[in-house]
Amino acid sequence: MFDSWAHKTIGEFLKFATEKFGCPSFTIHCQCDKKIAEERYKKANEAEEVSEDAAAELEDSNKRAEKNNSEIQAMFGAMKDKVRCITLNTEGSDETILENLKSHFSAKIILVNHEKRLQVDTTCSNLAIKYNMLYLSVYQLIKHQIQKCTPLGKELEASRKPRGLIADNAADELNEDEFSAVHFDMSIVIRLICQTIADKRTNQQFILLEGCCNNRKLADAEDKLTLRYMDELFQIEKHIGEVSAVISLQDFEEPDRFTDEKWEEFPEPVKEEPKKRQTNEDGEEEAEEEPAAEEDEEKKKPKWNPAEYKWTVTDRRAKNLPQLFRDYKGINCLCEIKPAADFSAADVEAVTKSMDDFCSRVMDEHTSRYIYQQVTFQC
């Protein structure tokens, strides 16, 4: 990665670099508003004003940068399939700029969920080769680390908390039940995925990630509330990359819209009985003490009563993955349900064809929309 050069012009440098190292993978043109540049100059030089000489220098630097960028665009503009020409706005905070950089260089994530009886390993491997994607099976990564007794494997084993999964009569040749990510600390699993991507990824723009977001497979309701889809999805987006698509190969349809069908019910307010006035020894009623002005004002204020409003019952009613994905991604999210029979009558062939069709669409549409597709099989 070059951020400067000893050549007199950008043209000479580009000629040298392409001859010695080949075509670059990307170019980045950084830019910001003139006022922002001046403010940064004053802060860096601990100056209250920008001198005329400094202002002229900043202006010359900006013109050189624009001239260099025009030469780069002229040389690589017609090679967009090989060279990505990125323009990066640096006016925001360090965190915002870092997020923008991550959006350019982090791979997009395609989550793959499936019933255990539907084998997807061979299909995912073939699709990864066909579309130049990186395929990661999370429970196989965990299994490898634990069986090899690596440092990460020891951490994973130490964090193991076995959780019950829904009974499935399908063969478990790859020990998914034993090494599923639901049994281990999420932060360690995320670290394992990040480390594997750093070791294995070259120029892949997409990662097929299988074995995450298994809330639906948990048997215990308490475990489902502990391992929420929201937590896993946000951790993946924060540390690994943006989830641009999800394909779920399942036996039953899941609604993609959350309906407020239950409402909170409040008990009837208890009516207070009037206070009995106290009497003295002669049987006469005692005069009540006048409340202080502040206390009188407090009594006059109407008390807030939640029963005057309608409240949906949300306690212990977590959203499923398609509902969460739709709400999180907003109007650019497309949720759809397709029967496996549309692809083939045989399960194995339906898995292959549906996933191939799905990956092809994601590759074409990933810049404009997010896709959540459920493919339902007859169990």
Spatial separation of the C-alpha atoms in residues 172 and 273, rounded to whole Å: 68
pTM of structure: 0.72
Q: Residue 174 pLDDT > 90, yes or no?
A: no
* Tokens 């601990």, residue located: 46
Q: State residue 34's pLDDT score.
A: 87
At 71 the three-state DSSP class reads: helix
Residue 111 structure tokens:
């989550």
Measured in degrees and rounded to the nearest 5, phi and psi for residue 175 equal 55, 45
- The whole-number pLDDT of residue 355 equals 95
Say how many C-beta atoms besides its own lie within 10 A of residue 137's C-beta: 21
Q: How far apart (Å, rounded) are the C-alpha atoms in residues 209 and 246?
A: 10
Higher pLDDT, 195 or 315: 195
What is the pLDDT at residue 3?
Answer: 86
Q: Please report which confidence band the pLDDT of residue 227 belongs to, taking 50, 70 and 90 as the band edges.
A: confident
Least confident of 37-51, 299-313, 340-354: 299-313
Phi and psi torsions of 157, nearest 5° = -65, -40
224's tokens: 């489902």
CATH number of 106-258+313-376: 3.40.50
pLDDT, tens digit (0-9, with 9 covering 90-100), for 124-141: 999 999 999 999 999 999
String of DSSP letters for 79-105: GTTT-EEEEEE--S-HHHHHHHHHHHH
Number of C-beta neighbours around residue 225 at 10 A: 14
**Three-state secondary structure call for residue 212:** coil
Residue-level pLDDT at 275: 65
Cα distances from 285 to residues 23, 107, 272, in angstroms, run 101, 83, 21
State the burial class of residue 369 (Cβ atoms within 10 Å of its Cβ: 0-12, 13-18, 19+): middle
Give the residue-averaged pLDDT of 239-264.
Answer: 85
Can you give the residue ranges of every domain in the chain? Answer: 10-99, 106-258+313-376
Q: Are strands 108-114 and 206-210 parallel, antiparallel or unpaired?
A: parallel
* CB of 208 closer than 8 Å to CB of 133: yes
**Is pLDDT of 189 > 90?**
yes
Report how far residue 99's alpha carbon sits from residue 103's, in angstroms, rounded to the nearest whole number: 6
Structure tokens at 74: 């002229």
For residue 286, pLDDT over 80 is answered with no
Q: At residue 81, does pLDDT exceed 70? A: yes
Instruction: Please check whether residue 41 is in contact with residue 58, taking contact to mean a CB–CB distance below 8 angstroms.
Output: yes
C-alpha–C-alpha distance, residues 335 and 323, integer Å: 9
Compute, in degrees rounded to 10, the torsion defined by CA atoms 191, 196, 197, 201.
Answer: 170
Distance of alpha carbon 285 from alpha carbon 290, whole angstroms: 15
Binned at pLDDT 50, 70 and 90, residue 203 comes out as confident
User: Is the dihedral angle over the CA atoms 7, 12, 16, 22 positive or is it negative?
Assistant: positive
DSSP state of 167: -
**Mean pLDDT across 289-305:** 66
**Percentage of the chain surpassing pLDDT 70?**
87
Instruction: Give the sheet arrangement for strand 243-250, strand by strand.
Output: 134-137, 206-210, 108-114, 243-250, 370-376, 333-339
Distance of alpha carbon 207 from alpha carbon 201, whole angstroms = 9
Q: Say yes or no to pLDDT of 295 above 70.
A: no
**330: Cα separation from own chain's centroid:** 13
Angstrom distance (rounded) from CA 200 to CA 220: 35
Mean pLDDT (the chain, rounded):
86
Residue 245: which of 337, 106, 368, 108 has the closest Cα?
108
Closest listed residue to residue 354, CA positions, set 271, 262, 267, 245: 245
Once rounded to an integer, what is the mean pLDDT over residues 266-283?
Answer: 68
Choose the weakest-confidence range: 18-32, 113-127, 267-281, 328-342. Answer: 267-281
Query: Which of the listed ranges 205-209, 255-259, 368-372 does the model predict with the highest average pLDDT?
Result: 205-209
* Greater pLDDT, 274 or 54: 54
Instruction: Identify the pLDDT of residue 293.
Output: 59
In the chain the beta strands, taken as DSSP E runs, fall at 26-31, 84-89, 108-114, 134-137, 206-210, 243-250, 333-339, 370-376
Which 3 state secondary structure label does DSSP give 109? strand
